[in-house]
Amino acid sequence: MAEVAGAPRFDMRGVRKAFGPTVALAGVDLMVRAGEVCALVGQNGAGKSTLMSVLSGALQPDAGGMTLDGAPYAPRDPLEARRAGVAMIYQGLSLAPHLSVMDNIALGVEPSRWGLVKRDEIRRRAKAALERLGHGDIPADAAVGRLPPAAQQIVEIARALDSGCRVLVLDEPTSSLGHDDVRRLFDRLTRLKSQGLAVVYISHFIEEVKTVSDRFVVLRDGRNAGAGVTVETAAATIVSLMVGRSIDELYPHRPRTPGEALLEVDALVPGSASFSLHRGEILGIAGLVGAGRTRLLRTLFGLEPVRSGRVRLGAFSGPATPGARWRQGAGFVSEDRAGEGLAAGLGVATNLTLSKLDGLGPGFVVLPSRQDAAAGRWIDRLGIRTAGPRQPIAALSGGNQQKVAVARLLHHDVDVLVLDEPTRGIDVASKAQIYALVDELVAPAGAASRQPKAVLLVSSYLPELLGVCDRIAVMTRGRLETPRPAAEWTEHDLLMAASGAQPVA
Amino acid sequence: MISRRLLDERGVLIGLLLVTALFAVLLGPQFLRGANLELMARQAVIVWVAAFGMTMVIAAGGIDLSVGSVVALSTVVTAQLLHTSVGPFGAVLGAIVVSACCGAVNGVLVTALRVVPFIVTLGTMLIIRGAAKGLADERRVEAPMTWLNDLLRTAGDGRGWIVPAGVWMTAILALLVAATLNYTRFGRHLFAIGSNERTARLCGVRVNASKIAVYTIAAGLAGLAGVLEFSRLSVGDPTVAVGFELDVIAAVIIGGGSLAGGKGSITGTLAGAAIMTVIHVGCSQQGLPNWVQQIVTGGIIVAAVGLDRWRERQ
């Protein structure tokens, strides 16, 4: 059943969504026609995911309306959206790895009679859905977990097709795919487009957007920032729309004098990284989510194995355990605050002092009173809002939790601070405090005799990197490029380099 | 706020008082007489000693199902060593060392195979039970009378100790283990591992070494509980303490421990085991059949955990 490209498949008007004081969407419009691939682009935090969560029923908008094929559409949950024909394919594939391909495709909508599942019909329908994608070759009985990532993605799209989807949303679909698989995915999307589906394609990669989409819509800070026909627009123009504003002047930046190299990395794999980090400087690493920045930092800190290459930290060479890294004078703030950075059930003082419990009592004894006193110092210094040093971390706001994670490095008095997305998801006031603190740490010694520190900073927020760092290196698809002085970068260039596009002259 | 705090730290103590008061009302003041309290303490010591180790394991996010088997093995080893020339003290030491080795194996398997401790210790529970039976030739092992048989003998014979030596020893152990958990680097590390193992690793805690150590210590304590069990039985019995691990786990859970890890206290565990003992003794003195005791104890476990969950949602 051929459908005419041109009729709006779905239309979102003035969609608003706020989480407490944070406005994620401030009135966003998005319309996609049947038989069209529309790219949704924007920087991290621009509101893409929130908008798609509204479309797929995972979130309810505070204001605004939606229509699907002209009829009002307001799904209360993802299941209702799915029944209405809106399917999302997330980056982290949502399949049951132990079940077979056909069972995954039929999951939740198994045809049955008197409570008995009709195996033959499931098989027939699974095959039909796979055929529609041109992949009848995927065995219906194979366990999904044994298939390569590209085939798993096909199974997931097949599941969407089997449930009669009219709108398909793909969120960063190429992040787990190799080069050839990406090309085949694009062929598949062309095929689906010709079958009358409306496809929303979310990607950071401008090249992909240029290749696959008919139109693009840019979001910035929760608003529409521009839209157009893809073939008529240059990649650089799309990037300009995403960046939008000039660099914030909010970042304190005292004069710094880099000293000796504290950290030297030579041909380290994973990361293909070679760089040195000096006392009294902040080195930033830019890149897209999934470019391998976190993996590089974790490898440096001994949380993941070194495949090859060399790391020298202070007087120590070679790989090390996290415990050894702390003793060698380095500290790490994890990007995953809840999952790794902090133990949510334990108190502020325990979390803050965990890496260095010695010195808090005679011998191997740890006196809680000394723990509280040590933590109290940093609670005052960083203005951590807590009922007391024993309050569980879970009761604190995100910003205050993050300050505890950073304070751990200060308590340990490390020389090298390795910070992975230290300001992600925290309020502006806490962000400003963390910037000011980091600036103070790397500033030349004043009256006090303490030495300036060195900071290695990963951030997805480009104004922050440009505002805080002395040098910035870009990581693209698992490779770290040579750092360049921050003054030589613009937000635009960073985004182009991180997206794998050629920098403009 | 105050009521939450009461529930938080002293809930189990209040529960113990309530249960004790209930039986004091039902049975009259003689329930609270010294001799009766001593009887209950003597009953509770074996669970107490093993539960100290279990508290540490559970605080670190683990579980040890093999403690019942370790207790049985320990009674057998003690009885057999008493036939040699090592003397009673050597027998106790030998039993504890053998038990601790079992625990070290648990720890190594948990860390090296990365299999969840429930499964690992379910396996070693059967292995150790089998080993105990093999060692004892599937019979009770008679042993000569020594001072070991007096560890839990009532103090009413005029030695002036108020309670038996085994109870004193348990009290000292409770202080030692509580201090270890709360005031040493090792103890703080255990809570950190149980609360969030990835955070502990990030902070440089030697996670695997700590886990092996905690399973070893817990099994060592279970071995000591086995010595007390031997003292009560005066024979080595490879079939004793079947299902004992569940009593021990229940004591820790009633006392505020969380199977998700990161929580647990010796005070809570002491009270948790005491509640179960009071119910047991109270019900028998009231003439209630065994099945009533079991239903009441089961109800208390579910209520304790339900209360805990409810508190966390607040």
User: Which pLDDT band, with edges at 50, 70 and 90, does A464 fall under?
Assistant: confident
* Among candidate residues A135, A134, A142, the one with its CA nearest the CA of residue A102: A142
Burial bucket for residue B234 (CB in 10 Å: 0-12, 13-18, 19+): middle
CB contact under 8 A, B191 and A350: yes
Residue B65 reports pLDDT greater than 50:
yes
Which of A326, A361, A367 is the closest to B204 by Cβ?
A326
A274, A316: one domain: yes
CB contact under 8 A, B200 and A350: no
Q: Is any Cβ of chain A less than 8 angstroms from the Cβ of B262? A: yes
Residue A325 reports pLDDT greater than 50:
yes
CB contact under 8 A, B191 and A346: yes
C-beta of residue A463 within 8 angstroms of C-beta of residue A432: no
Name the domain boundary from A387, A410, A433: A410
Q: Considering the domain boundaries, does residue A1 fall inside one?
A: no
Task: Dump pLDDT digits (tens) for B285-313.
Answer: 999 998 988 898 899 889 888 877 777 66
C-beta of residue A68 within 8 angstroms of C-beta of residue A167: yes
Task: Dump pLDDT digits (tens) for A29-61.
Answer: 999 999 999 999 987 668 888 899 999 998 999
- Looking at per-residue pLDDT, the higher value among A133 and A319 belongs to A133
Q: Rounded distance, CA A355 to CA A168, Å?
A: 47
Task: Dump pLDDT digits (tens) for A283-303.
Answer: 999 998 788 999 999 999 999
Instruction: Output the pLDDT for position B3.
Output: 44
Residue A246 reports pLDDT greater than 70:
no
User: Which pLDDT band, with edges at 50, 70 and 90, does B6 fall under?
Assistant: very low
User: Which pLDDT band, with edges at 50, 70 and 90, does B224 fall under?
Assistant: very high
In percent, how much of chain A has pLDDT > 70?
94
Residue B5 reports pLDDT greater than 80:
no
Residue B139 reports pLDDT greater than 90:
yes
- To probe the interface with B, which of A303, A351, A357, A401 has the most B CB atoms within 10 Å? A357
Q: Rounded distance, CA B203 to CA A342, Å?
A: 10
Which of B184, B204, B262 is the closest to A355 by Cβ?
B204
Q: Is any Cβ of chain A less than 8 angstroms from the Cβ of B200? A: yes
Instruction: Output the pLDDT for position A365.
Output: 92
A198, A295: one domain: no
Name the domain boundary from A392, A410, A428: A410
Q: Is any Cβ of chain A less than 8 angstroms from the Cβ of B139? A: no
Name the domain boundary from A243, A275, A304: A243
A235, A275: one domain: no
Instruction: Output the pLDDT for position A108.
Output: 75
A202, A260: one domain: no
Q: Rounded distance, CA B202 to CA B205, Å?
A: 7
CATH code, A196: 3.40.50.300
Min CA distance, A204 vs chain B (Å)? 30
Residue A377 reports pLDDT greater than 60:
yes
Residue B213 reports pLDDT greater than 70:
yes
Instruction: Output the pLDDT for position B190.
Output: 96
Residue B51 reports pLDDT greater than 50:
yes
Count of domains observed in chain A: 3
- Looking at per-residue pLDDT, the higher value among A1 and A87 belongs to A87
Q: Considering the domain boundaries, does residue A453 fall inside one?
A: yes
Instruction: Output the pLDDT for position B160.
Output: 58
A204, A103: one domain: yes
Least confident of A458-472, B3-17, B264-278: B3-17
ipTM entry: 0.82
Q: Considering the domain boundaries, does residue A334 fall inside one?
A: no
Q: Tell me which chain A residues have a C-beta less than 8 angstroms from the C-beta of B196.
A: 339-340, 342-346
A401, A457: one domain: no
A38, A161: one domain: yes
Chain A: residue whose CA lies nearest to B179: A365
- Looking at per-residue pLDDT, the higher value among B70 and A252 belongs to B70
Q: Tell me which chain B residues have a C-beta less than 8 angstroms from the C-beta of A387.
A: none
Q: Considering the domain boundaries, does residue A503 fall inside one?
A: yes
CB contact under 8 A, A303 and B185: no
User: Which pLDDT band, with edges at 50, 70 and 90, does B159 fall under?
Assistant: low
Least confident of A98-112, A219-233, B28-42, B107-121: A98-112
The stretches of B234-260 forming alpha helices (DSSP H) are: 244-254
- Whole-prediction pTM: 0.78
Quick one: average pLDDT of A411-417?
95
Chain A: residue whose CA lies nearest to B191: A346
A56, A161: one domain: yes
Question: A285: part of which helix (H) or strand (E)?
Answer: strand A282-287
A185, A302: one domain: no
The upper half-sphere exposure of residue A472, i.e. CA atoms within 13 Å in the direction of its Cβ, equals 26
Instruction: Output the pLDDT for position A178.
Output: 75
Residue B7 reports pLDDT greater than 60:
no
Chain A: residue whose CA lies nearest to B195: A343
Burial bucket for residue A488 (CB in 10 Å: 0-12, 13-18, 19+): exposed
Q: Considering the domain boundaries, does residue A382 fall inside one?
A: yes
Q: Is any Cβ of chain A less than 8 angstroms from the Cβ of B184? A: yes
Min CA distance, B302 vs chain A (Å)? 22
CB contact under 8 A, B199 and A368: no
Q: Rounded distance, CA A180 to CA A196, Å?
A: 25
Mean of the per-residue pLDDT values of chain B = 91
CB contact under 8 A, B188 and A326: no
Q: Which contacts qualify for A240-248: CB closer than 8 Å, 24 or more apart? A: A240/A492, A242/A41, A242/A42, A242/A43, A242/A46, A242/A218, A242/A495, A243/A43, A243/A462, A243/A491, A243/A492, A243/A495, A244/A220, A245/A463, A247/A463, A247/A466, A247/A467, A247/A491, A248/A463, A248/A467
Which of B184, B196, B201 is the closest to A364 by Cβ?
B184
Q: Tell me which chain A residues have a C-beta less than 8 angstroms from the C-beta of B188.
A: 350, 354, 357, 366
Task: Dump pLDDT digits (tens) for A86-128.
Answer: 988 876 567 888 889 998 888 877 777 777 888 888 999 999 9
**Sheet strands side by side (includes A22-33):** A22-33, A8-19, A63-68, A71-72
Instruction: Output the pLDDT for position B8.
Output: 54
Residue B104 reports pLDDT greater than 60:
yes
Instruction: Output the pLDDT for position B164.
Output: 87
Question: So where are chain B's domains?
Answer: 40-242
- Looking at per-residue pLDDT, the higher value among A481 and A206 belongs to A481
Cα torsion B257, B263, B269, B275: sign: negative
Q: What is the CA radius of gyration of chain A?
A: 25
Q: Is any Cβ of chain A less than 8 angstroms from the Cβ of B191? A: yes
User: Exposure string (b/e) for A39-59, b if CB count within 10 Å is 16 or more?
Assistant: bbbbbebbbbbbbbbbbbbeb
Q: Which contacts qualify for B305-314: CB closer than 8 Å, 24 or more apart? A: B305/B253, B307/B7, B307/B11, B308/B256, B308/B258, B311/B4, B311/B7, B311/B8, B314/B4
Q: Considering the domain boundaries, does residue A337 fall inside one?
A: no
Mean of the per-residue pLDDT values of chain A = 87
Instruction: Output the pLDDT for position B1.
Output: 37
What six digits make up the tokens of A253? 């930046």
Task: Dump pLDDT digits (tens) for A424-457.
Answer: 877 667 887 888 899 999 988 765 557 899 999 9
Task: Dump pLDDT digits (tens) for B169-202.
Answer: 999 999 999 999 999 999 999 999 999 999 999 9
What six digits make up the tokens of A361? 């009592």
CB contact under 8 A, B202 and A344: no
A133, A46: one domain: yes
Range of the domain at A377: 343-410
Chain B: residue whose CA lies nearest to A341: B199
A316, A360: one domain: no
CB contact under 8 A, B203 and A303: no
Which of B184, B195, B201 is the closest to A366 by Cβ?
B184
A279: Cβ–Cβ under 8 A, 6 or more apart, which residues? A258, A259, A260, A261, A262, A415, A451, A452, A453, A454
Task: Dump pLDDT digits (tens) for A252-280.
Answer: 788 888 899 999 999 998 889 999 999 99
Task: Dump pLDDT digits (tens) for A128-185.
Answer: 999 888 888 899 999 988 888 888 888 988 988 888 889 999 988 887 777 788 888 8
A265, A197: one domain: no
Q: Considering the domain boundaries, does residue A94 fall inside one?
A: yes
